[in-house]
């Protein structure tokens, strides 16, 4: 029975993540449309949701083209890496207290490790394409991810210090007593948010593909389903980062404590998890709609000169508070 | 040099110039209308007003007309002060009161001096609300349109037509604001230089009808610097194309050659390029005598087979083909089997001209001719045979006026004053021709003699100059004395002769006169007019082999390059040519030789191929391809003759490689290379554009064929591009496709390309004189060898082989006539109502008899037109009276022009 | 620094509010947008009040065209009236900038509010005179260029245009 549950959760996660990523393609464009006073894609199926399916069919039906000048093996491997690492990242996400694939005692480190591995995908894609735009995109991506990796990890250390565990289930449980970490670890939350955007290279930090300068950056040469995998990876990382933010800072499956107990008892915990994750995704899309892309040097100085000191300050304060109070 | 101060800045200007010239030379923009660099000032339009200050304290100044003001040292002027600009604007405003709202439907629009000047002064609003005066237009012939409403009464047209070109049928009529420029009644403008009215008129009163028929704005024309192929004078022209057709020919200023003016043959004669007689396909004649169109590759393969199967291959060049084409032919058939295509008599005449060109006697170009103060014309019908030279001769007769002006310290640019002063005083011009001459009106002495007598006169003058005893009649001796006196009195005497009477004796006698005169006066000049655009070139290239001798050497294959041999041949030679097994012809237009050929190749005209031509003064000048015939969708087979001939020889060479080979074989032609830059020339790494930067319709002009735009054709032969890509203005004159400068859209913009007004080119002159004049002058034997009374009369429209196929010029061609005096008529038993028939092998020619008493005894004068080409070289022809003869109806325009000229 | 961060947050807020704003776009083609008469769509050639072609083939539209997609050739009827022998617009190049209309001195060439001119074959985007010429006067009724120009055409001799005096009798000697 136990094994069947795990089996179901794994496949549920797999299908759910893929499905959500596909629907996000449509959802993001629709939402962007509203924010830009347009209607957005609304022609295929009800509200245009069929666009998600149409997009998938299109990508699958396209010619599987490998440019003759590219490094064939690397070129094919690169897009698969990002999807694999992101999907592995979902292994440690606790949907509820009991619903998860694995509650590792190093869950947080595993998540960080997996997101770090995703950089290979972008870097190899850029290198293997043998294209100057792709190479530039790959280089930018490597520098950006290596830099933001640092504060991403450090920003979570406050949380770990308070909850005393790397297990994500434990972290959520800590929040049930302690209150959501978004309040006590506000600085950590801000830094993690920024680093999350940079890690998933979403707008406004999508410099590796910056179409104004680099055509399409590291995936300039990609088309068909290989390009589709990069897209998928990006949306998966969006969902993963959002669920991590939910889990770590917004109390995961816990309902808001100011609501009456009746409501909290009535509404299943998984709803809270998905509702929070969804809101977080919408916020990411809003960022894309509202904030322009910075220059590359601005991005780097923002990271090293602002986020790193902030993280360190956060750690110091958290440490001090834990020691003396 | 004189230093003047304009708006506080000092300028060094040429002394003796007028202020307008000085300001324009200094690069300042001053508007003007009536002043013309070649015609001087009259101060009629009041447009060039500037302010002159008396001294440093003077702040008020007074308005003066800059064209009427001589420059003096330290004089102070202002162009930009408000009183001057205001004055100039009000002048334009007044001129524009009656100017119609015509610009969109005016042929001058876009290259209009009036538009330029209006924009320059800033006038933009017609405040006057009264009615505009209007005028009726006149029919001025098939070449020039008339739209009097647009006139601003600057008087440039009559000043050019009457004063400069000597015409009498265009004048100013009526009074006050009714002034009208036109003829007394509708009719063809009779002057041979009437076409210059189009250039001279600052607005659209006189327009080019041949352009208007398929009108294209200046900015849309693809142009190239070309050399006129109408005669041997080598005038520089711009030829312009649109949609694969030659649209117009325009004057290209060349200081030493044509200056600002062209003759009407040159300006309106290029229509032959668009002729329906164009050969556009390679063709092989089948058994049935009809031509089968074949691909160029097949045709060339067939020619190679012909050559391979032949014992003896002969190449006949042409005096109307470029040096490059002749060289390629010479290279293909070998030096011993090549001749330059001239009949023996032509060869003889041109060897005299070449000898004179090589001698140390001055052989002036057309600009220099204007400096000679006594001219003797021996037998040459300048106006019809070398037309542009006649305009120079006419100016030379004004040297007396210049002298008188110098005596009274009158500046030469004071045109009206100088003419008033001189009245009818002219420098001596002596003309000895068989028929009445168009320059007779300015001649001091004009005598009608048969060609042989003209030669005798020449030899006698030479003898007289050397002090030898004289023989002959008293009248003859008196003429000799008078001419000799005038020549010895002159400071710079000039002898002009040429090939128009086809008599080598006349040329020899002219050379002898010049040589004799040279002994006493080293400023003596001689000017011998050659026959065709490249006669001197091919005479220099190779003048060894005789055409009849080569044809008689029983060749199996004869390659004829751009030469209509048959039409100009005697029957015996025609039969010889007809019996040849393989006759290969390269030509532009269908003609008698082409229709006798066994294989024909479509040769490019001057407008489609680059080529070098050598004019009568030995100046090599490069003519560039105007357009690539293949660029309009379907690939064209038309190609430069030298490319076609090279293809037969299995070579692919650019024109400069052909020239390099030519110079290697004939080192005396070395300077041909420096006539213009070759294809590797560039300005800042760019080629020179043939189209203006405003050329329109690039993505639509061929869209009816295919919406996918073809690549622009590549010009491997020259440093110019067939597009608007490349430099537009900074090119040397030999690569300039048009004169156009910011704010100066009309042809007046030429002054922006000159170092000083009418001076040297800022970006490099074009052309190169080929010969170093080192040999001592030859003295020829004074026996007269050529006698005979059948004399060709050249006609500006019709006597040149190609230009007579231009539609408009063909309509002005004379009818067949034969002129004689009443004595000769009596001998032949004919009167003016009769016809005379000439019976030749293939055709019969019927002539109208015209009796003209001035024609010398025993002389019969016929018009040299395509039908009568077979008579050239004949001294006598069997003529039979036709009974009950009805003269053919002449075209209206031709009728008008003959009657007008007779009056 | 703070100001910059605040400004980002304000823009986030403002953009977010647009969720509740009405869309500016419409459901074309079910719902047709309103296009003003001076909208720059398909180009037409118009006629003057007498029903003659207004175009006088002056070439100004062609030279004004930034993509060089207009080509035409002038012809002249027996009475001296200029008209285009052919007039071709390559709409596959046209950018509907309206410079040709600005340049036209006779109000002949006009842009219309029709923009629905897609084709499956690019060649069909090449419009000749017969496709361009309409029978009406378009946006500028009443104007006839030849009525103000000095050139004589059929049924309008010298001196008969607007604000023109009768032709001068050049034989008159009156002062």
Contact yes or no for B105 and C149 at CB 8 A: yes
Chain B neighbors of C88, CB-CB under 8 A: 700-701, 703-704
- Across the interface, of B101, B697, B703, the residue whose CB is closest to C149 is B101
3-state secondary structure A165-215: CCCHHHHHHHHHHHCCHHHHCHHHHHHHHHHHHHHCCCCCCCCCCCHHHHC
> Would you say the pTM of this structure is higher than 0.90?
no
3-state secondary structure B66-135: HHHCECCCCCEEECCCHHHHHHHHHHHHHHCCCCCCCHHHCCCCCCCHHHHHHHHHCCCCCCCCCCEEEC
Structure tokens at B187: 């009719």
Q: For the purposes of burial, counting CB atoms within 10 Å of the CB of B750, is it exposed (0-12), middle (13-18) or buried (19 or more)?
A: buried
Integer Cα distance of C38 and C110 in angstroms: 9
**ipTM given for this complex:** 0.90
Say whether pLDDT at B898 is over 60: no
B residues 703-722 lying closer than 8 A (beta carbon) to C = 703-704, 706-708
Q: pLDDT digits over B315-343, tens only?
A: 999 999 999 999 999 999 999 999 998 98
Say if residue B538's pLDDT is above 90: yes
DSSP state of B164: I
Which residues lie across from B792 on neighbouring strands?
Answer: B862
Find the CB nearest C105 among B104, B149, B180: B104
Candidates C6, C12, C22, partner chain A, best to mutate (most A CBs within 10 A): C12
Residue pLDDT, tens place only, B184-206: 989 999 999 999 999 999 999 99
Average pLDDT over residues B244-260: 93
| Helical residues (DSSP H) of B446-582, grouped into ranges | 451-465, 474-489, 504-520, 535-541, 547-552, 571-578
First-last CA distance in chain A? 45
**CATH 3.40.228 domain position(s) in chain B:** 366-524
- The pLDDT score that the predictor gives to residue B899 is 44
> pLDDT tens digit string along A73-119?
888 888 888 889 988 888 888 888 777 888 888 888 898 888 888 88
Q: Is the pLDDT of residue B600 over 90?
A: yes
Contacts of B700 in chain C (CB under 8 A): 68-71, 88-90, 93, 126
pLDDT of residue B595: 85
Looking at residue A261, what is its pLDDT? 77
pLDDT at B631: 64
Give the nearest chain C residue to B693 (CA atoms).
C63
Confidence band, pLDDT 50/70/90 cuts, at residue A250: confident
Most confidently modeled range among B751-760, B779-788, B866-875, B881-890: B751-760
Higher pLDDT, C47 or B833: C47
Please state the rounded mean pLDDT for residues A52-64. 86
Residue B19 has pLDDT above 70, yes or no: yes
Q: Where in chain B is the domain with CATH 2.40.40.20?
A: 790-882
Q: Which fold has domain B790-882?
A: Barwin-like endoglucanases (2.40.40)
CATH number for B2-95 (one of 3.60.21.10, 3.40.50.300, 3.10.20.740, 3.60.20.10): it is 3.10.20.740
| Low-confidence winner among B100-104, B315-319, B632-636 (lowest mean pLDDT) | B632-636
Contact A37 C12 (CB under 8 A): no
For residue B841, what pLDDT band results from cuts at 50, 70 and 90? low
The confidence band for B171, taking pLDDT boundaries of 50, 70 and 90, is very high
Report helix angle B474-489 to B504-520, nearest 10: 50
pLDDT-based confidence at B900, cuts 50/70/90?
very low
* Residue B170 pLDDT > 60: yes
Q: Are C71 and B175 in contact (CB < 8 Å)?
A: no
Residue in B688, B699, B684, B680 with CA at minimum distance from that of residue B723: B688
Percent of chain B residues topping a pLDDT of 90: 72
What is d(CA B386, CA A243) in angstroms, rounded to the nearest whole number? 96
Predicted confidence at residue A139, as pLDDT, reads 85
Residues of C in contact with A38 (CB under 8 A): 23-25
Q: Where in chain B is the domain with CATH 3.10.20.740?
A: 2-95
Structural fold of domain B366-524: Dimethylsulfoxide Reductase; domain 2 (3.40.228)
Q: What is the pLDDT of residue B786?
A: 85
Compare B457 and A10 and report the one with higher pLDDT.
B457
Cβ–Cβ gap C128/B704 under 8 Å: yes
Q: Do C22 and A289 touch (CB under 8 A)?
A: no
Nearest to B707 among C60, C106, C125 (CB): C125
A298 and C CB contact within 8 Å:
no
pLDDT at A2 over 80: no
In A, minimum Cα distance to C16 occurs at: A35
The stretch C108-133 carries a mean pLDDT of: 94
Give Cα separations from C153 to B150, C46, C144 (angstroms). Answer: 16, 19, 12
Report the pLDDT averaged over residues B97-121: 94
pLDDT tens profile B798-825? 899 899 999 999 989 988 888 999 988 8
Q: What is the mean pLDDT of residues B539-553?
A: 87
| Chain mean pLDDT for chain B | 91
pLDDT in tens, A170-222: 888 888 888 888 888 888 888 888 888 888 778 788 777 777 777 777 888 88
- Which band of pLDDT confidence, cut at 50, 70 and 90, is reported for residue B274? very high
Percent of chain B's residues with pLDDT above 70: 97
Output the CA angle B278-B279-B280, nearest 5 degrees.
105
Does residue C170 belong to the interface with chain B, where contact is any CB pair within 8 Å?
yes
Q: What is the pLDDT of residue B901?
A: 44
CB spacing of C58 vs B707 below 8 angstroms:
no
A34 reaches C (C-beta below 8 A) = yes
Q: Which of C73, C150, C170 sits opposite B174 (nearest CB)?
A: C170
pLDDT higher than 90, residue B635:
no
Whether residue B893 is predicted with pLDDT greater than 70 in this model: the reply is no
CA distance A104 to B838: 122
Query: Is C8 near chain A, with CB under 8 Å?
Result: yes
Rounded to whole angstroms, how far apart are CA atoms B299 and B283? Answer: 7
Chains in contact with chain C (at least 3 beta-carbon pairs closer than 8 A): A, B
The band of B633, judged by pLDDT with boundaries at 50, 70 and 90, is low
- pLDDT category, B897, cuts 50, 70, 90? very low
Residue predicted with more confidence, A16 or B496: B496
Span of A35-44, A81-90, B717-726, B837-846 with lowest mean pLDDT? B837-846
> What's the rounded mean pLDDT across residues C133-151?
93
User: Which 104-163 residues of chain C touch chain B by CB within 8 A?
Assistant: 105-106, 122-123, 125-126, 128, 145, 148-152, 158-159, 161, 163
Per-residue pLDDT of B514-537, as tens digits, reads: 999 999 999 999 999 999 999 999
User: pLDDT: is B471 or A86 the higher one?
Assistant: A86
Q: What single DSSP character describes residue C31? A: S
């Amino acid at each position: 029975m136990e094994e069947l549950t795990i089996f179901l959760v794994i496949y549920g996660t797999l299908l759910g993540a893929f499905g959500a990523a596909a629907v996000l393609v449509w959802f993001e464009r629709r939402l962007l449309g509203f924010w830009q006073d347009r209607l957005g894609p609304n022609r295929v199926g009800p509200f245009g949701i069929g666009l998600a399916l149409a997009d998938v069919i299109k990508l699958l039906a396209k010619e599987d083209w490998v440019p003759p000048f590219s490094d064939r093996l690397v070129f094919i491997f690169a897009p698969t890496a990002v999807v694999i690492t992101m999907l592995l990242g979902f292994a440690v996400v606790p949907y509820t207290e009991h619903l998860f694939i694995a509650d590792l005692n190093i869950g947080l480190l595993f998540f960080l490790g997996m997101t770090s591995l995703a950089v290979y995908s972008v870097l190899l894609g850029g290198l293997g394409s043998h294209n100057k735009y792709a190479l530039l995109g790959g280089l930018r991506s490597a520098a950006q991810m290596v830099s933001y990796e640092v504060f991403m990890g450090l920003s979570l250390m406050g949380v770990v210090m308070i909850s005393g565990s790397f297990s994500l289930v434990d972290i959520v449980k800590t929040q049930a007593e302690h209150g959501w970490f978004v309040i006590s670890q506000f600085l950590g939350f801000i830094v993690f948010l920024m680093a999350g955007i940079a890690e998933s290279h979403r707008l406004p930090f999508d410099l590796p593909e910056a179409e104004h300068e680099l055509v399409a950056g590291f995936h300039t040469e990609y088309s068909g389903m290989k390009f589709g995998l990069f897209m998928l990876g990006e949306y998966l990382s969006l969902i993963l980062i959002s669920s991590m933010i939910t889990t770590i800072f917004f109390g995961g499956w816990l309902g808001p404590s100011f609501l009456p107990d009746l409501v909290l008892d009535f509404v299943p915990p998984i709803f809270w998890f998905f509702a929070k994750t969804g809101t977080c995704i919408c916020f990411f899309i809003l960022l894309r709609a509202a904030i322009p892309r910075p220059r590359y040097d601005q991005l780097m100085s923002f990271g090293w000169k602002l986020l790193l000191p902030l993280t360190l300050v956060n750690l110091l304060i958290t440490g001090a508070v834990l020691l003396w109070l | 040099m004189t230093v003047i101060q304009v708006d506080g800045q000092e300028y060094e200007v040429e002394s003796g110039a007028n202020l307008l010239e000085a300001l324009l030379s200094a690069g300042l923009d001053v508007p003007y209308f009536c002043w013309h660099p070649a015609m001087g000032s009259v101060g009629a339009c009041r447009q060039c007003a500037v302010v002159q200050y008396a001294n440093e304290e003077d702040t008020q100044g007074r308005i003066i007309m800059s064209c009427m003001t001589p420059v003096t040292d330290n004089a102070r002027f202002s162009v930009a002060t408000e009183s001057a600009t205001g004055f100039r604007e009000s002048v334009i405003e007044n001129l524009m009161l009656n100017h119609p709202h015509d610009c969109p439907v005016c042929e001058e629009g876009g290259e209009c001096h009036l538009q330029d000047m209006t924009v320059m002064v800033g006038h933009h609003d017609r405040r006057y609300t009264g009615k505009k005066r209007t005028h009726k237009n006149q029919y001025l012939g098939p070449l020039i349109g008339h739209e009097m409403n647009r006139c601003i009464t600057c008087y440039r047209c009559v000043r050019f037509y009457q004063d400069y070109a000597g015409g009498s049928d265009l004048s100013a009529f009526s009074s006050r604001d009714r002034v009208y420029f036109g003829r007394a009644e509708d009719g063809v403008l009779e002057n041979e230089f009437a076409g210059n009215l189009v250039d001279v008129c600052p607005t659209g009163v006189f327009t080019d009808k041949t352009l208007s028929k398929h009108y294209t704005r200046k900015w849309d024309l693809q142009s190239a610097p070309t050399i006129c192929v109408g005669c041997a004078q080598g005038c520089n022209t711009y030829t312009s194309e649109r949609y694969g057709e030659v649209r117009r020919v325009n004057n290209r200023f060349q200081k030493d050659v044509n200056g600002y003016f062209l003759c009407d043959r040159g300006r309106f004669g290029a229509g032959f390029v668009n002729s329906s007689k164009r050969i556009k396909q390679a063709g092989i004649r089948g058994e049935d005598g009809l031509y089968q169109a074949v691909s160029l590759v097949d045709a060339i393969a067939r020619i190679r087979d012909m050559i391979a199967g032949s014992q003896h291959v002969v190449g006949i060049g042409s005096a109307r083909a470029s040096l490059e084409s002749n060289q390629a032919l010479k290279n293909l058939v070998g030096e011993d089997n090549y001749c330059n295509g001239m009949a023996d008599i032509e060869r003889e005449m041109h060897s005299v001209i070449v000898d004179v060109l090589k001698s140390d006697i001055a052989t002036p170009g057309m600009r220099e001719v204007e400096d000679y103060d006594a001219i003797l014309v021996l037998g040459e019908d300048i106006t019809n045979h070398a037309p542009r030279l006649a305009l120079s001769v006419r100016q030379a007769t004004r040297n007396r006026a210049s002298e008188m002006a110098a005596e009274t310290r009158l500046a030469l640019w004071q045109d009206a004053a100088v003419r008033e002063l001189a009245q009818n005083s002219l420098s001596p011009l002596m003309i000895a021709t068989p028929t009445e001459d168009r320059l007779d009106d300015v001649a001091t002495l004009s005598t009608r003699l048969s060609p042989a007598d003209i030669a005798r006169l020449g030899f006698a003058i030479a003898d007289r100059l050397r002090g030898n005893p004289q023989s002959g009649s008293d009248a003859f001796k008196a003429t000799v004395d008078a001419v000799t006196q005038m020549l010895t009195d002159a400071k710079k005497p000039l002898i002009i002769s040429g090939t128009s009477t086809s008599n080598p004796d006349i040329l020899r006698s002219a050379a002898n006169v010049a040589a004799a005169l040279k002994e006493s006066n080293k400023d003596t000049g001689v000017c011998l007019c050659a026959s065709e655009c490249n006669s001197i070139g091919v005479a220099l290239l190779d003048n060894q082999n005789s055409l009849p001798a080569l044809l008689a050497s029983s060749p199996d294959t004869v390659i004829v390059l751009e030469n209509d041999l048959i039409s100009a041949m005697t029957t015996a030679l025609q039969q010889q040519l007809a019996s040849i097994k393989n006759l290969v012809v390269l030509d532009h237009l269908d003609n008698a030789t082409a229709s006798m050929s066994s294989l024909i190749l479509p040769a490019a005209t001057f407008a489609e191929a680059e080529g070098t031509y050598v004019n009568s003064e030995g100046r090599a000048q490069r003519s560039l391809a105007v357009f690539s015939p293949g660029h309009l969708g379907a690939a064209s087979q038309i190609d430069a003759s030298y490319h076609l001939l090279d293809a037969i020889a299995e070579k692919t060479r650019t024109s400069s490689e052909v020239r390099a080979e030519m110079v290697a074989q004939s080192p005396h032609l070395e300077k041909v290379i420096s006539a213009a830059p070759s294809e590797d020339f560039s300005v800042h790494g760019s080629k020179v554009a043939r189209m203006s930067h405003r050329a329109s319709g690039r993505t639509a002009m061929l869209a009816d064929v295919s919406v996918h735009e073809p690549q622009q054709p590549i010009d491997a032969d020259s440093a110019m591009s067939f597009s608007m890509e490349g430099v537009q203005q900074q090119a040397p004159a030999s690569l300039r496709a048009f004169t156009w400068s910011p704010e100066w859209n009309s042809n007046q913009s030429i002054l922006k390309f000159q170092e000083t007004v009418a001076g040297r080119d800022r970006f490099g002159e074009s052309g190169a004189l080929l010969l170093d004049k080192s040999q001592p002058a030859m003295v020829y034997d004074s026996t007269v060898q050529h006698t005979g009374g059948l004399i060709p009369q050249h006609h500006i429209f019709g006597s040149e082989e190609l230009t007579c196929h231009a539609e408009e010029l063909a309509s002005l061609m004379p009818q067949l006539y034969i002129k004689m005096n009443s004595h000769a008529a009596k001998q032949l038993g004919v009167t003016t109502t009769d016809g005379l028939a000439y019976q030749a092998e293939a055709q019969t020619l019927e002539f109208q008899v015209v009796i003209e008493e001035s024609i010398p005894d025993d002389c019969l004068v016929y018009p040299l037109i395509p039908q009568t080409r077979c008579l050239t070289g004949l001294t006598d022809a069997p003529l039979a009276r036709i009974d009950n003869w009805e003269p053919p109806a002449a075209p209206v325009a031709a009728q008008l022009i003959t009657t007008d000229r007779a009056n | 620094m703070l100001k910059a961060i605040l400004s980002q947050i304000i823009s986030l807020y403002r953009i977010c509010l647009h969720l509740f704003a009405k869309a500016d776009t419409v459901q074309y083609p079910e719902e047709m947008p309103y296009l003003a008469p001076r909208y720059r769509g398909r180009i037409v050639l118009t006629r003057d009040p007498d029903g003659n072609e207004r175009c006088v083939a002056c070439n100004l539209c062609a030279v004004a065209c930034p993509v060089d997609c207009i080509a035409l050739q002038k012809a002249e009827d027996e009475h001296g009236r200029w008209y285009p022998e052919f007039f071709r617009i390559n709409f596959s190049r046209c950018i509907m900038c309206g410079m040709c209309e600005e340049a036209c001195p006779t109000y002949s060439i006009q842009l219309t509010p029709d923009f629905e001119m897609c084709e499956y074959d690019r060649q069909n985007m090449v419009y000749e005179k017969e496709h361009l010429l309409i029978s009406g006067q378009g946006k500028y009724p009443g104007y006839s260029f030849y009525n103000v120009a000095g050139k004589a055409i059929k049924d309008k001799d010298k001196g008969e245009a607007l604000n023109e005096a009768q032709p001068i009798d050049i034989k008159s000697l009156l002062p």
